[in-house]
Structure 1
Amino acid sequence: MPVAAADRPPQRLSRPRPAPARAARSRPRLYVLDGIRLGAALMVVLHHFAGTRRADEPGNMIWDRPVSDIMPTVFRVASFGWVGVEIFFVISGFVICMSCWGRTPRDFFVSRVIRLYPAYWFGVFFTTAVLVLVPGVMERLPLREVLFNLTMLQAGSDVPNVDPVYWTLWSELRFYLLFLVVVAMGLTYRRVVVFCCVWGAAAMLAPVSKFPLLVLAADPSAAWYFIAGLALYLMHRFGQDLLLWGILAMAWLMGQLELGERVAYEQVSSWRGAVVVFTVFMLVMVGVALGLTDRIRWRWLVTAGCLTYPLYLTHYVAGMVLINRLRDTMDPRLLLVVLIAGFLVLSRLVHRMVERPAARLLKRGLDSSFARLRSFQRVA
């Protein structure tokens, strides 16, 4: 039984203590996170359609000539859209920590399965169907590899992704597996801080260690973005302190280094511009963590957040195929608007007609399975 506050020793009362968990739970829903997630998804979509190196090559398979010639302003803006992936990772760290607090490993497992797989399965089949119905633009995978993609574990078995954008899911899955250890121990401020420090140290050592298993587990290219999200959530729940600011500063410093490597890969944007975009986002997230955006309670942002995942999963391959087929039928800017609007409508339909019903069925089935597992354990 917990000790009443009046019965605690005076010296414990005088110590600065983190805010109790119920103080964090009493805060309003963070609607602004839903809006940021959709904004990041739209950044990525615009980048893939009009801001990549491939889209700016003469005679590319997407447009009939370089995008920088067709719509130079759009290209300059879209060339930084890839930073939306790093934004996703930070938000994921924040949201996963928030949603797992006080939950069991079983709850964590079930929540991740019902959240990730229904829309993903639709995305795999949808992308494959588009490539079958509209051949000659992009090569599709053999059926055996398409079916293996349904596991979401293809990257771990060196099997190509049905859609190249699915590479981010491999980073997400590794984060979930690592964080599951902390969830199993029971989430506390101290344990999450230790997890951030240990994972950060492993991510720094992995590249120079030349130890493949450490590189695989530590995921140095994405780890610090997830760590930033975890630190921001601890700020949100328990209040700021120097230690959390230090973790966040380290995450920013390591993040800007990774941004430099991504710039070298993308070859369409500058390091300074990418760092500015990422820094502005981080400042916005600090405002979210400190409660400066709590008054934003627009209901439509919840709907916007629900579109993010289906939009990300379905837009890339199908969008490039459609641009290739429709680029001569209308103005390029109008085509971009029509395509993005179309994928948003599709995402809404996927959420309502695929994600919701499938999530209910999966949750019911998994809950029943775990209940059966417990009953057999008692019998044994």
Structure 2
Amino acid sequence: MSRLPRAAWRRLSGASPSGAGRLAAVDGLRLLAAAGVAAYHYLGTPTPRFWGENYDLPRAAPLLHAAGGYGWLGVEAFFLISGFVICMSCWDRTPAGFAVSRIARLFPLYWAVVLIIVVSGTVTVLIGQRSGAPTDLRTTLGNLTMIPRPLGVDFTAGVAWTLWVEARFYLLMGALLLIGLTYRRIVAFGFLWLVLASIGRELRSSAVDEFLLSQYAGLFVTGIALYLMHRFGSDLLLWLLAGFAWCYTLTVLEDRVATHPTSTWGPSAAVLTGFLALLVLACGPLRRVQGRLLVYAGALTYPFYLVHQSLGIPVTRGVLRCVPALGLLPSIAVGLSFSLLLAAVLNRQVDRRFGPVVRRHLTTAIRTPPRIECRSGGEGVPGR
């Protein structure tokens, strides 16, 4: 029997070659994606007179408004990076370990932000002002599950719709983990996902689209292909997977472009730039770039993304109302600075404190299930 090269054995077995680890530069890229989304909400919004009747954003900052109009593509960058990062997070983990890591990472910060939005919105209503976010009990409880849309309630944090997209991606990766994660299986998974998503679009099946994320499948699979290149090295098969996913992405991107007043070529060029940036940072010479500042930027991305719209924009409007002489752009700078500062506080006081606690308790609960007490007074037996 002929012997396979070591690299091939690594791919088939899922073994980790040396050097696989955290990429600080990718953390920095995540914050840039969040900054793009914030630029869209603050500067590029197509809503007329978004900041009030006295403030015409296209006239006050025409270049920033035009550039910010493409900031919504930061969401596409998030999904591209997520495919890379979640594939890396899944490797050498059990399904339970992966679930624990996602819950501990996402939920404490998310719960904190939802409660802050509800409290601030309630206070705003009590003082006679209009609240932008729904604060009733039913909506709040539905949002605490992180899946409010299937429960039929609005999002408390407007940007949280992307978390529901991410959650379904996690479910797909978790299902793959149940089978076992190897190089060969995840490549097959990528091709199969894209084919089934394409069939769902052809059938115009909303159920298939919701389950297989047909609008964003190409971005996730492209990120997965880039991670495999980072981990195992590039080859023709991975370039075919990345190329298939990329062609798919640019084809379905037209649906997203139709909902935004931007040119057709601009979003394609922006998404291509994100792909090239991730390729260089993850698979090129910049993969060895390290730095605490970049890692910290990655840590701030999630809380900043959650708070910049639902909390930062009301602060900006409050500044415009109370200090009109400050002007539009300085007031926007205050709102963004507030969002970044609040993100730093949430990272320190919530993520760093409660994330490890949730992770530790969930891990303990999984490893040592509760014991069932026998009515006869005998020793308990582990619950099944």
Above 0.5 in TM-score?
Answer: yes
Q: 58, 66, 85: which one pairs with 1:76?
A: 66
Cα distance change on mapping 1:150 and 1:188 into 2, 3 Å: same
Give the deviation of 1:329 after TM superposition: 4.1
Structure 2 CA distance for aligned equivalents of residues 375 and 291 of structure 1: 51
Q: 262, 271, 274: which one pairs with 1:278?
A: 271
Q: Which residue matches 1:317? A: 310
* Structure 1 residue 67 corresponds to structure 2 residue 57: yes
Indicate if the aligned counterparts of 1:63 and 1:323 stay in contact, CA closer than 8 A.
Answer: no
Secondary structure of 1:266's counterpart equals coil
Indicate if the aligned counterparts of 2:83 and 2:219 stay in contact, CA closer than 8 A.
Answer: yes
* Structure 1 residue 39 corresponds to structure 2 residue 32: yes
Aligned counterparts, 1:1-380, within 5 A: 9=1, 11-13=2-4, 17=8, 24-27=17-20, 29-54=22-47, 57=48, 59-60=49-50, 64-134=54-124, 135-136=129-130, 138-267=132-261, 269-327=262-320, 328-373=324-369
Structure 2 CA distance for aligned equivalents of residues 109 and 331 of structure 1: 46
Of the structure 1 ranges 104-113 and 316-325, higher mean CA displacement relative to structure 2 is found in 316-325
Give the deviation of 1:364 after TM superposition: 2.1
Whichever residue aligns with residue 177 of structure 1, its letter is: L
Structure 2 CA distance for aligned equivalents of residues 180 and 14 of structure 1: 30
Indicate if the aligned counterparts of 2:97 and 2:363 stay in contact, CA closer than 8 A.
Answer: no
Indicate if the aligned counterparts of 1:24 and 1:238 stay in contact, CA closer than 8 A.
Answer: yes
Structure 2 CA distance for aligned equivalents of residues 27 and 368 of structure 1: 27
Secondary structure of 1:168's counterpart equals helix
Cα distance change on mapping 1:158 and 1:61 into 2, 3 Å: farther
Structure 2 CA distance for aligned equivalents of residues 360 and 285 of structure 1: 29
Cα distance change on mapping 1:197 and 1:296 into 2, 3 Å: same
Indicate if the aligned counterparts of 1:161 and 1:167 stay in contact, CA closer than 8 A.
Answer: yes
Secondary structure of 1:152's counterpart equals coil
Of the structure 1 ranges 13-22 and 176-185, higher mean CA displacement relative to structure 2 is found in 13-22
Structure 2 CA distance for aligned equivalents of residues 311 and 379 of structure 1: 41
Structure 2 CA distance for aligned equivalents of residues 63 and 340 of structure 1: 21
Indicate if the aligned counterparts of 2:55 and 2:328 stay in contact, CA closer than 8 A.
Answer: no
Indicate if the aligned counterparts of 1:18 and 1:239 stay in contact, CA closer than 8 A.
Answer: no
Give the deviation of 1:137 after TM superposition: 5.1
Cα deviation digits, residues 72-102 of structure 1 (max 9, x gap): 1111111111110010001111111111111
Give the deviation of 1:121 after TM superposition: 0.6
Cα distance change on mapping 1:141 and 1:291 into 2, 3 Å: same
Indicate if the aligned counterparts of 1:231 and 1:247 stay in contact, CA closer than 8 A.
Answer: yes
Give the deviation of 1:330 after TM superposition: 1.3
Cα distance change on mapping 1:61 and 1:330 into 2, 3 Å: closer
Secondary structure of 1:315's counterpart equals helix
Indicate if the aligned counterparts of 1:52 and 1:266 stay in contact, CA closer than 8 A.
Answer: no
For structure 1, the residue ranges without an aligned partner over 5 or more in a row are: 1-8
Indicate if the aligned counterparts of 2:369 and 2:383 stay in contact, CA closer than 8 A.
Answer: no
Cα distance change on mapping 1:101 and 1:374 into 2, 3 Å: farther
Give the deviation of 1:25 after TM superposition: 4.2
Indicate if the aligned counterparts of 2:33 and 2:75 stay in contact, CA closer than 8 A.
Answer: yes
Secondary structure of 2:3's counterpart equals helix
Cα deviation digits, residues 263-303 of structure 1 (max 9, x gap): 22122x22211111111110111123324212311221011
Cα distance change on mapping 1:79 and 1:107 into 2, 3 Å: same
For structure 2, the residue ranges without an aligned partner over 5 or more in a row are: 373-380
Structure 1 CA distance for aligned equivalents of residues 329 and 383 of structure 2: 65
Q: Which residue matches 2:376? A: none
Structure 1 CA distance for aligned equivalents of residues 361 and 235 of structure 2: 43
Secondary structure of 1:162's counterpart equals coil
Indicate if the aligned counterparts of 2:280 and 2:287 stay in contact, CA closer than 8 A.
Answer: no
Structure 2 CA distance for aligned equivalents of residues 242 and 83 of structure 1: 29
- What value does the CA root-mean-square deviation take over the aligned residues? 2.2
Q: Which residue matches 1:5? A: none
Give the deviation of 1:338 after TM superposition: 2.3
Whichever residue aligns with residue 363 of structure 1, its letter is: R
Indicate if the aligned counterparts of 1:224 and 1:254 stay in contact, CA closer than 8 A.
Answer: yes
Indicate if the aligned counterparts of 1:51 and 1:80 stay in contact, CA closer than 8 A.
Answer: yes
Give the deviation of 1:16 after TM superposition: 7.0
Structure 2 CA distance for aligned equivalents of residues 349 and 192 of structure 1: 38
Give the deviation of 1:229 after TM superposition: 0.7
Whichever residue aligns with residue 287 of structure 2, its letter is: D
Cα distance change on mapping 1:209 and 1:28 into 2, 3 Å: closer
TM-score, structure 1 as length reference: 0.90
Structure 2 CA distance for aligned equivalents of residues 63 and 77 of structure 1: 22
Secondary structure of 1:172's counterpart equals helix
How many residues are aligned here? 367
Cα distance change on mapping 1:374 and 1:202 into 2, 3 Å: farther
TM-score, structure 2 as length reference: 0.89
Share of identical aligned residues, percent? Answer: 34
Cα distance change on mapping 1:81 and 1:24 into 2, 3 Å: farther
